[in-house]
Every structure is written in structure tokens, then in C-alpha cells.
Amino acid sequence: MSNPPTIHVPPDGEPSALKRAAKRAARLAALVGVSPVLASYWLSAAVRGRGPALESRSQLLSLWPGLTGQYLRRAFLEQVLARCHPTATVEFGTFFSQQGAMLDENVYVGPRCVLGLVHLERDVLLAANVQIPSGGKTHYFDDPTKPIREQGGERKLVTVGAGAWIGTGAIILADVGKGTVVAAGSVVTKPLPDNVIAAGVPAKVIRNRFEPAPEASA
Ligand SMILES: CC(C)(COP(=O)(O)OP(=O)(O)OC[C@H]1O[C@@H](n2cnc3c(N)ncnc32)[C@H](O)[C@@H]1OP(=O)(O)O)[C@@H](O)C(=O)NCCC(=O)NCCS
């Protein structure tokens, strides 16, 4: 039986001047549209703190589908996160829990991701269902006399280096190097270097990204 054909997808081209102007107008409209959510965010942040205020508004806006949802989420996140570049895209179902999160230029965050204290450097791609909590020690559990929920914990900023691609369903607990590819379903528990491909649970480097893949044995 012959293999099904592979469909090659070309990269996106540069947008025209008209498209750029339309995008600017849409961004302004989104900021106006999201202003009631922003107002309720600032009120709630004053009472409950920024984290809880962010989480609930971010969950609400995560439910808006399509391009409109992308514009509304970006307009909100630009105002409330430590950094959200105007070219970043955040898809349906994705939400944030930490105000200190940073999204740089051309970052793409796929659908249904859950993101904590994370720095996504420029050109990072996250596929669907990627989870990046704020490191692996968000709850301490050493004290036998207390439930884990009462033991505190720590949040660490997890950095995904520029140009990295994180595959579907990966869980990232440690830094990922620039240009590195994390295979679908992997769990990154230790920092990964630049420009490697890592896979598995826990994720291990399988090869350098620019080395040719070894020939499959016959
Ligand atoms: C990692 C990936 C990019 C393939 O990289 P590659 O270098 O071409 O890897 P290969 O397919 O040659 O596989 C190399 C080895 O890694 C293993 N591997 C590949 N993907 C893996 C994964 N997700 N989990 C565990 N192991 C994996 C392969 O089984 C193979 O092992 P072997 O040498 O023991 O046979 C690809 O498997 C992947 O996970 N892509 C993500 C796709 C995705 O999430 N897309 C979402 C839309 S953006």
C-alpha cells in the first residue's frame, strides 16, 4: 500500500500595508471591547490581588472563539501581563494565572494551554494543550503534619528560548533552550540546551536539531 501524500505548508508571507492598517484598527476596537473586563480586573486586583483577578478574566476571555477572541485576549493581556507584545497570538481556551508572564514578539500560544510564570521569548510556538506551571515546586510536601495545600511552595519563572517549538500536550517544568524542539507529550523536568530535539517522559535530548536524523534501520 502506498503512503498517503505529505502536504507541505508554506510559511506566511509579509502582510500588505492595507492588512497592517486593518490590524491596527482591529486592535483599537478590541481594546475598546475589552475595556469593561479591564475595569473589572483593576477593581478585583485591588481587592483580591492581581493573580486571582487575572485568572478569572483570562478564563472568561479564553472562551471567545476565532479571530475576535485572539484580538480581545491580546488587548487584555497587553494591559495586565508583565509583557505581551502586540504581535503575540493566544488561542481559544488558553489562560494565564501569573501577572509576571511575558510574551515576546511573534509568540504563538495554541488552544487550551495553561500558563503560569513563564517567559516565552520571540518566535516561540506552543502547540495545543501545553502546560507550563511556574516550575516543579509550586507546592512543598515535606511536612508530614500538614496537608500539602498548607505547606506553601515556590514559583519559578520558566523561560522558553527564542524560536523554540513545544509539541502538543507537553508539560514544561524547566527552561527550554533557544530553537529547541520539545516532542509532543514530553515532560521537561530539567533545563534543555539550545537547538536540540528532546522527547519523552522525562524529556531527553534525542539529537541536535541541525544534525540529519539517523537513517531508520531496514
Ligand atoms: C519530535 C518530532 C518533531 C519529530 O522529530 P524527529 O527528529 O523527526 O524525530 P523522529 O520522528 O525521527 O524520531 C526520533 C526518535 O524520537 C522518538 N519520538 C518522536 N516523537 C516522540 C514523542 N512525541 N515522544 C517520545 N518519543 C518520540 C521516535 O520514536 C524516535 O525514537 P527511535 O529513534 O527510538 O525510533 C515529532 O515527533 C513531534 O513530536 N512533533 C510535534 C508535533 C506537534 O505537536 N504538532 C502540533 C501542531 S504545531
Domain positions in the chain are 18-141+154-208
Report CA-CA distances (Å) from 88 to 71, 72, 150. 10, 12, 36
Predicted pLDDT at 2: 66
Where does residue 120 fall: left (phi above 0), alpha (psi -120 to 50 degrees), or beta otherwise?
beta
C-alpha of residue 199 to centroid of ligand 1, in Å = 7
**By C-alpha distance, which of 88, 93, 100, 4 is closest to 49?**
100
Which residues face 160 on adjacent strands?
120, 176
C-alpha of residue 174 to centroid of ligand 1, in Å = 20
**By C-alpha distance, which of 156, 155, 61 is closest to 109?**
61
Q: Who's near 154: CB < 8 A, 6+ residues apart?
A: 135, 137, 138, 140
- Evaluate whether the domain defined by 18-141+154-208 bears CATH number 2.160.10.10: yes
User: From the CB of 164, is ligand 1 less than 6 Å away?
Assistant: no
User: From the CB of 185, is ligand 1 less than 6 Å away?
Assistant: yes
Predicted pLDDT at 45: 94
Helix, coil or strand: residue 187: strand
- Give the position, in ligand 1's atom list, of the atom nearest the Cα of 169: 44
Q: Going residue by residue through the chain, which has 218 residues, state the pLDDT in tens, using 9 for 90 and above.
A: 567 788 888 777 788 899 989 999 999 999 999 999 999 999 999 999 998 999 999 999 999 999 999 999 999 999 999 999 999 999 999 999 999 999 999 999 999 999 999 999 999 999 999 999 999 999 999 999 999 999 999 999 999 999 999 999 999 999 999 999 999 999 999 999 999 999 999 999 999 999 887 775 44
Query: Which residues are annotated as catalytic?
Result: 139
Predicted pLDDT at 197: 98
C-alpha of residue 90 to centroid of ligand 1, in Å = 25
Predicted pLDDT at 217: 46
72, 90 in Cβ contact below 8 A?
A: no
Helix, coil or strand: residue 175: coil
72, 49 in Cβ contact below 8 A?
A: no
Give the other-Cβ count within 10 Å of 182's Cβ.
Answer: 26
Predicted pLDDT at 216: 53
- Give the position, in ligand 1's atom list, of the atom nearest the Cα of 207: 7
